């Protein structure tokens, strides 16, 4: 199955959650250990939610879904998410 989008399009949906621009952050895959820029993740969606997978091993790294009163964010597949800090 071909991914419908890539992580660039997560910028808007994740701007509701993060104070910084998150597509330049580095996601470390909990499955294979590969470091990927969030913009490079393979993204499937948009409904019922967005699912971002590791470009190396296809493991699910991030899921984000919006319901009527909540945003659900699942980062369980990531070993870490390294965000660029201001001034860093």
Partner 1 sequence: MVRSAWRPAALVDRRPETATATTLVLQAQDWPGHLPGQHVDVRLTAEDGYQASRSYSIAAPTDGDRIEVTVQRLENGEVSPFLADDLAVDDEVELRGPLGGWFVWRPEQREPVLLVAGGSGIVPLMSMIRVRAGTSRAPFRLIYSVRSPADRIYAAELRRRSAEDGGLDVAWVHTRVAPENDPRPPGRLTPDDLAAHGWPPDFEPTVYVCGPTGFVESVAAMLLATGHDATRIRTERFGGA
Residue 31 CB, nearest approach to partner 1 (Å): 20
Residue ranges in 49-68 that form contacts with partner 1 under rule CB under 8 A: none
Contact 43, 52 (CB under 8 A): yes
Q: Which is nearer to partner 1, 40 or 58 (CB)?
A: 40
Query: How far apart, in whole angstroms, are the C-alpha atoms of residue 23 and residue 41?
Result: 9
Does 17 bind partner 1 (CB under 8 A)? Our answer is: yes
Across 28-52, b (16+ Cβ under 10 Å) vs e yields bbbbeeeebebbebbbbbeeebbbb
Does 24 bind partner 1 (CB under 8 A)? Our answer is: yes
Cβ neighbour number for residue 59 with a 10 Å cutoff: 14
Candidates 3-11, 27-35, 57-65, 75-83: pick the segment binding partner 1 (CB under 8 A).
3-11
Given the rule CB under 8 A, which residues bind partner 1? 2-6, 8-9, 11-12, 15-17, 21, 23-24, 37-40, 71
């Amino acid at each position: 199955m071909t991914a419908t989008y890539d992580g660039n399009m997560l910028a808007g949906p994740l701007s509701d959650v993060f104070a910084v621009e998150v597509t330049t952050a580095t996601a470390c895959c909990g499955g294979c250990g590969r470091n990927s820029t969030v913009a490079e993740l393979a993204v499937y969606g948009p409904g019922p939610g967005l699912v971002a997978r590791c470009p190396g091993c296809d493991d699910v790294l991030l899921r984000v879904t919006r319901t009527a009163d909540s945003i659900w964010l699942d980062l369980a597949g990531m070993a870490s998410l390294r965000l660029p800090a201001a001034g860093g």
